[in-house]
Amino acid sequence: MRIGFDASPLVRPHPPGVVRAVAGALAALERAPGLTALRLAPAPGENLRLWRQVRLATLVRERELLGVHSFLSAFPLAGTGRRVQTVHELPWLHGVGENAGLTHRFWARVASLRADRVVCASEFVARELDRGALAGRVRVCPWGVDAARFSRTPEEQARRALDELLGLAPDGRPGPIVVAPGAVRAKKNLRVLLEALAAARGSPEEQVRLVVTGPVGEEARSDQRLAGQLGVEAQVRWVGELDEAVLVALYHASAAAALLSRSEGFGLPVLEAFAAGRPVIVAEQGSAAEVGDVAGGLAVGVDPSSPAAVLAGLRRALSAEEHSAERAARRLARAQAFSWERCAGRIAEVWRELL
C-alpha cells in the first residue's frame, strides 16, 4: 500500500503534543511492513489551505497513491483516492472554547462525511463521533509513547539544565514538584489547580511546587495574575517549552503530574509521566481518564471544576501508597502498552479496510 501522509504539522506551528504524536506515528509507519508511507508537506510560506485542497490532492494522483491520511481534521475534499481524517476532540461538547469555532465544527461534523474513515485516538471521542451519518466509519487508533525514553534515568546535562530552570543549587531540592504539562492554554484548566494550592495553606501540600511547561502567552499571563491574587505565585515556576531530555528530567524530579483539561484528544503527557513511574491527576471523565485507566484505579480522577476535589486528588497522588514500587511498575506497564508500532499497526488496518 502506497499512502500519502499529511506531514504539515511538522513544518507549521501546532501544539507540541500534536507534533510529537505525528512524528512518532510517521516514524513507526515508515518502518511498518506492507506499507509505503510518503510524507507530504507544504513548502515554507506556501498557502496551507491551497496546498491541502489542490496540491495534496494532485500529489495523490501523480504518485498513484491509494489515498491521503490526515493527522488533522482538515483533508482534501476533492480529488482521487481514499481519504482518512483524524478528529482529535469535540471541545464544544465539554464547555471548552479552544478549537470550538465554526471551522473546527465544520471539519468534524460536516466535512467528515467526505472521509472514507474517521480516526480518533481514544474510545471516548469515537463514541461522541460514531453516530448518525458517520456510524460505522469511525476507528480508534491510540497514539503511542516512547516509554523507554521516558523511563530512562535522565542525562546529567539535562538534570543540570532543569536545576537552573528551577533556580536550584546543585544540592537543593524544593518541596514536592507537581508538573502541569503544557498548562499555558486556558483549556488545560490550570486555574483550578492554582485555587487548590491556595486552599492548601496550613497543610503539608503548602510545600508543593508547581512547574508549568509551555510558551507563556496571554492565557498563561492571565493565570500568572491569578496566582498573584491567590498568593501562590511563589509556589509556581513557568519554565517555557522544554526539549525532550529536560522534560524527561522534569518528570523524574517530580512527585506527580496534573492534566485537568475537560477536553483532550488523547492525553500523551499521562503516558509520559507513567513511563517515568509518576502518579497523574486527571479529569475524571474523558480521554485522559481513559488513557490513564482511572476506572482501573491507576490515574487519580478528580472533578476538574472543584478545587477541593483537585486538592484531595493531589493529596492522594503524593501519598506513600501511590509512590510504592508496585504502583510505579503498573504505571510503566500501562505506558509500554501504547507503543508507536501498535499505533502504526492500527492505522495500517484502517487502510487495509479500504483496499
User: With contact defined as beta carbons under 8 Å apart, do 344 and 33 qualify?
Assistant: no
- pLDDT in the model for residue 170: 54
- pLDDT in the model for residue 171: 54
Ordered mean pLDDT values, 10 residues apiece, the chain (355 residues): 95 84 96 95 91 92 95 94 96 93 94 95 93 86 96 94 81 81 95 96 90 95 97 94 95 97 94 98 96 97 97 96 96 97 97 95
Cell matching residue 325: 514500587
- Name the amino acid, one letter, at 65: L
CA distance 278 to 191: 22
- pLDDT in the model for residue 45: 86
Cell matching residue 184: 499555558
Domains of the chain with CATH codes: 2-144+339-353 (3.40.50.2000), 147-336 (3.40.50.2000)
Phi, psi of 235 (to 5 degrees): -90, -5
- Name the amino acid, one letter, at 3: I
CA distance 346 to 274: 22
- Specify the pTM: 0.94
Cα-based distances in Å from 280 to 62, 316, 351? 47, 10, 34
